[in-house]
Amino acid sequence: LMYGHGLLLPIADIDHTDFMLILGGNPLASNGSIMTVPDVEKRLKAIQARGGKVVVVDPRRSETAAIADQHLFIRPGGDAAFLFGLLHTLFAEGLTRDSHLAVDGLEDVRAAVSEMTADAMSPRCGVPAEQIRQLARDFAAAERGVCYGRMGISTQAFGTLCHWLVQLINLVTGNLDRPGGALCTEPALDLVASTSGGSFNRWQSRVSQLPEYGGELPVSALAEEMLTPGEGQIKALITVAGNPVLSTPNGRQLDTALEGLEFMVSVDLYINETTRHADLILPSTSALENDHYDTTFNMFAVRNVTRFNRAILAKPEGALHDWEIFVGLAQAFALKTGRELKPTMPPAQMVDRGLRAGLYGDASPLKLSLETLAQYPHGLDLGPLKPNLAKRLKTFNQRVQAAPPVILADLARFAGEPSPQAGGLMLIGRRHVRSNNSWMHNFHRLVKGKPRHQLLMHPDDLLSRGLMDGQRVRVSSRVGVIEVEVMGSIEMMPGVVSLPHGWGHGRPGVRMDIATAQPGESANDLTDERALDGISGNAVLNGVPVTVAAA
């Protein structure tokens, strides 16, 4: 909406910034996200070593918060309020800096946030107003600063507003498209250049009228589209490299819905919580048996890099790569329906074409192609991020749109949101460096060691409920109940509990011996498919109201 393309995302220039403000991201566990960043710990410490500051805003003192110069606890879901308070302070105290970019709508933004003072926003986020104001001053005072927000601020009721505000804070402090601020990666294979910007809300889901984005619907709509009778009811499903029974809100409901399908195919390596429902599983080759070029994460990397990995192991007799399975399915479909099938080329050839057509390709001195990349098995560093947004904007008038109408229209919902009540508990998630969402749990070396499935809770919250560290507790939300061990932790903000997602493998029919022997339950047995971000329909996975009592 702001830059004209769904993949044109400014990345934190972590290697050159003097001030990194992180909200709802824990790169020490996740290796960064929308910031592909090897050895993030070294890079964050380098900011500090050159006299800069790292500030983390998170309801949990995460691994990243623990090495930051400053950590602010925030009430889950309070980030839009917090960011409004920051932006208001920047405007009110004259802390803004002009951008070299052509921008539309900044005056509309200024008017829209005129009432969102730090004082007004403080009760909604639980951060003292003076701390919000001081942070705005510190951020603006830095020669080069960047505000970075990730999962924790995406999957909440005002997630879209949060990311809009992150962009605006970088923009109005002059840090957008500037070294040490936020810069768009210039990848060797540039999907921004080669695809259209994307689409939003061209059509809506059948049952809940949730908006389409890029041809996809919010996953919260998936179960209801299967369970609600009528024309257009979903009766067959293909899953590809996904385990939605564990990864999507109210996973138990989806579990039930999958059971009722007429037909299901899964392209996956495991018989897990989702694929156990499939009539047919099509296993692909594993990572060491196929070639790899990362089209996605190279687009969001903190340096311009490129690498093509050839398969290390030979493909077993009769096995198929994922792409061969897709082509086979398409051919079968074409045969059955009499439709014509467009000819396709193997992925390596597509990558070669993309490289040649790109910035470092045939028209450049580097002349990148698959053949040249073969000489660099460890990849090629194409240099630091550089300003380029002005020429890459894909908005209708080639100007940054600071105030997209769809977003401004959501401000009324924000204003009408009731103030948070004290006393209840809110559930948030967490990631671990040796896990990846719901998988990699079937490999001993990745799951051994200290258990990490527990519900983390502040000792005061344990005490007030008469609970003890290590005890089994019953956690309930609107949609479900689980039982799990609780662990007292002063990392947690009082009133907030944390549980990782992707666990809970001990279900009938799951054929993963090591994973099913692991303790832990699925956080998505508690998350609510009806709690959504009003603009995107994205699920609220963080900040779920729960109660906790002895099991």
Do 191 and 397 meet the contact criterion of CB atoms below 8 Å apart? no
Is residue 201 a contact point for ligand MGD (CB under 6 A)? Answer: no
101: closest CA among 162, 36, 165, 181? 181
Is residue 241 a contact point for ligand MGD (CB under 6 A)? Answer: yes
State the number of CA atoms in the 13 A half-sphere of 96 facing the CB. Answer: 18
Tokens found for residue 320: 């198929």
Among 62, 160, 170, 536, binds ligand MGD (CB under 6 A): 62
Tokens found for residue 490: 């002063």
Is residue 244 a contact point for ligand MGD (CB under 6 A)? Answer: yes
- Closer residue to ligand MGD (CB): 155 or 369: 155
Among 179, 198, 242, 494, binds ligand MGD (CB under 6 A): 242
Q: State the DSSP H helix or E strand holding residue 70, giving kind and residue range, or none if neither.
A: strand 70-72
Among 132, 373, 382, 428, binds ligand MGD (CB under 6 A): 428
Q: How far is CA 390 from each of CA 4, 14, 103, 165, 177, rounded to the nearest angstrom? A: 12, 21, 10, 20, 8
Is residue 119 a contact point for ligand MGD (CB under 6 A)? Answer: no
Q: How many residues bind ligand MGD (CB under 6 A)?
A: 55
Tell me how far apart the alpha carbons of residues 325 and 284 are, in angstroms, rounded to a whole number: 7
For the bound state, the minimum distance from the C-beta of residue 83 to ligand MGD, rounded and expressed in Å, comes to 10
State the number of CA atoms in the 13 A half-sphere of 354 facing the CB. Answer: 22
Q: Compute the residue count for the chain.
A: 551
Q: State the DSSP H helix or E strand holding residue 476, giving kind and residue range, or none if neither.
A: strand 472-476
**What is the identity of the amino acid at 215?**
G
359: closest CA among 407, 299, 316? 299
DSSP string, 169-207: HHHHTT-BTSTTSEEE---SS-HHHHS----EEEEE-TT
Residues 260-289 close enough to bind ligand MGD by CB under 6 A: 267-270, 272, 284, 287
- Closer residue to ligand MGD (CB): 382 or 526: 526
Is residue 247 a contact point for ligand MGD (CB under 6 A)? Answer: yes
Among 395, 438, 477, 538, binds ligand MGD (CB under 6 A): 438
Q: Which residue is nearest to ligand MGD (CB)?
A: 152
Among 124, 303, 430, 505, binds ligand MGD (CB under 6 A): 430
Tell me how far apart the alpha carbons of residues 13 and 202 are, in angstroms, rounded to a whole number: 34
Among 59, 145, 218, 420, binds ligand MGD (CB under 6 A): 59
For the bound state, the minimum distance from the C-beta of residue 62 to ligand MGD, rounded and expressed in Å, comes to 4
- Closer residue to ligand MGD (CB): 212 or 322: 322
Name the residue with tokens 């344990």. 462
**What is the identity of the amino acid at 22?**
I
Is residue 351 a contact point for ligand MGD (CB under 6 A)? Answer: no
Question: Per CB under 6 A, which region of 164-172, 341-349, 388-396, 427-435 contacts ligand MGD?
Answer: 427-435
Helix axes 79-92, 118-125, angle to 10 degrees: 160
Is residue 487 a contact point for ligand MGD (CB under 6 A)? Answer: no
Among 99, 156, 298, 401, binds ligand MGD (CB under 6 A): 156
State the number of CA atoms in the 13 A half-sphere of 430 facing the CB. Answer: 25
Is residue 159 a contact point for ligand MGD (CB under 6 A)? Answer: no
Among 79, 255, 352, 529, binds ligand MGD (CB under 6 A): 79
Instruction: Give me the residues that bind ligand MGD (CB under 6 A), please.
Output: 23-27, 29-31, 33, 57-60, 62, 74, 76-77, 79, 150-153, 156, 240-244, 247, 267-270, 272, 284, 287, 322, 428-431, 433, 435-439, 501-502, 523-524, 527, 541-543
